[in-house]
């Protein structure tokens, strides 16, 4: 899983620097109003992305997955290898994914007897560089320390998970799609907005107190938070998320539902 993440990351990195994205026009006032009201800055349904390039990235990651599953037998490796599509079909998948509609993805997966999670991973991982490019252009104009939810202020996708940053200890989340990071108050449920201290709490696993599950008894959702205070090296949250999968099991056993998401988890 670790190697797969690294390999996908390298493909994304290579494309990221060459991507040309059309930025939505946003005035300072609009930015401030949208951030305050919790409306994503980028209207995903209005985006026009380079589908040819999207398809190129998708096929490259597909080859990677097919190579990795080859030799392991199993029908999924075969199904991945046979995945093919034209620009028009890719355009449809991309458009639906941006609108949050997964039906065409499900149809395509069914058609190939492919696990829809794998197709979702492909689409997500191929879309991410575009969104990261766009977010990167916006970041210098944004004050992102006033977040109030687990949805990305830039693109609206759910966070991967979060960490308490070194220095001021602020609880910072990272977007699962555009990689934007934003700060949030600690005594607040990021899913239902509850600030009732009797409803908010923590779960741990074993002796490790630096990796916590922030739970909300009101909406029964949780988010994983790793304490990075006093830690100098940068945390890679998609990897931390994989590494802390045991916390998801702890939370599920206690009846809590994961409020975050990644294409890999
Ligand atoms: Zn985002
Ligand atoms: Zn809640």
Where do the structural domains in the chain lie, given as residue ranges?
2-140, 159-258
CA of 212 to the centre of ligand 2 (A): 16
| Nearest-ligand number for the alpha carbon of 182 | 1
CA of 202 to the centre of ligand 1 (A): 26
Predicted pLDDT of residue 71 = 65
Pairing mode of beta strands 159-164, 171-175:
antiparallel
CB 3 within 8 A of CB 242: no
Dihedral angle sign, alpha carbons of residues 28, 30, 33, 38: negative
CB 220 within 8 A of CB 179: no
CA of 223 to the centre of ligand 2 (A): 10
| Nearest-ligand number for the alpha carbon of 214 | 2
Give the span between the Cα atoms of 162 and 182, in whole angstroms.
Answer: 9
| Nearest-ligand number for the alpha carbon of 155 | 1
Give pTM, 2 decimals.
Answer: 0.93
| Nearest-ligand number for the alpha carbon of 130 | 1
Say how many CA atoms lie within 13 Å of 201 toward its Cβ: 11
Q: Mind listing the pLDDT tens digit of every residue in the chain (265 residues)? A: 788 899 999 999 999 988 988 887 889 999 999 999 999 999 988 888 999 999 999 999 999 999 988 766 667 888 898 999 999 999 999 999 999 899 999 999 999 999 999 999 999 999 999 999 999 999 999 999 989 999 999 999 999 999 999 999 999 999 999 999 999 999 999 999 999 999 999 999 999 999 999 999 999 999 999 999 999 899 999 999 999 999 999 999 999 999 998 877 6
């Amino acid at each position: 899983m670790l190697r797969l993440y690294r390999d996908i990351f390298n493909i994304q990195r290579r494309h990221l620097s060459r991507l040309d994205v059309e930025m939505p026009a946003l005035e300072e006032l609009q930015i401030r109003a949208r951030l305050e009201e919790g409306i994503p800055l980028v209207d995903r349904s209005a985006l026009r992305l380079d589908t040819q390039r999207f398809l190129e990235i998708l096929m490259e990651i597909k080859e990677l997955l097919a190579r990795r599953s080859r030799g392991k037998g199993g029908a999924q490796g075969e199904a991945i290898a046979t995945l093919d599509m034209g620009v028009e079909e890719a355009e449809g998948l991309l458009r639906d994914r941006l609108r949050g509609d997964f039906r065409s993805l499900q149809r395509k997966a069914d058609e190939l007897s492919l696990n829809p999670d794998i197709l979702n991973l492909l689409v997500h991982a191929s879309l991410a560089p575009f969104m990261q490019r766009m977010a990167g252009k916006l970041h210098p104009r944004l004050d992102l320390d006033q977040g109030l939810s687990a949805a990305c202020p830039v693109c609206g996708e759910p966070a991967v998970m979060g960490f308490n940053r070194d220095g001021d200890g602020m609880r910072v989340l990272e977007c699962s799609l555009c990689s934007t990071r934003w700060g949030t108050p600690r005594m607040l449920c990021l899913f239902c907005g509850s600030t009732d201290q009797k409803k908010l709490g923590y779960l741990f696993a074993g002796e490790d107190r630096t990796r916590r599950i922030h739970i909300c008894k009101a909406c029964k959702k949780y988010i994983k938070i790793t304490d990075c205070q006093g830690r100098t090296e940068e945390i890679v949250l998609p990897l931390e998320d994989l590494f802390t999968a045991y916390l998801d099991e702890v939370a599920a056993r206690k009846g809590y539902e994961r409020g975050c998401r990644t294409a890999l988890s």
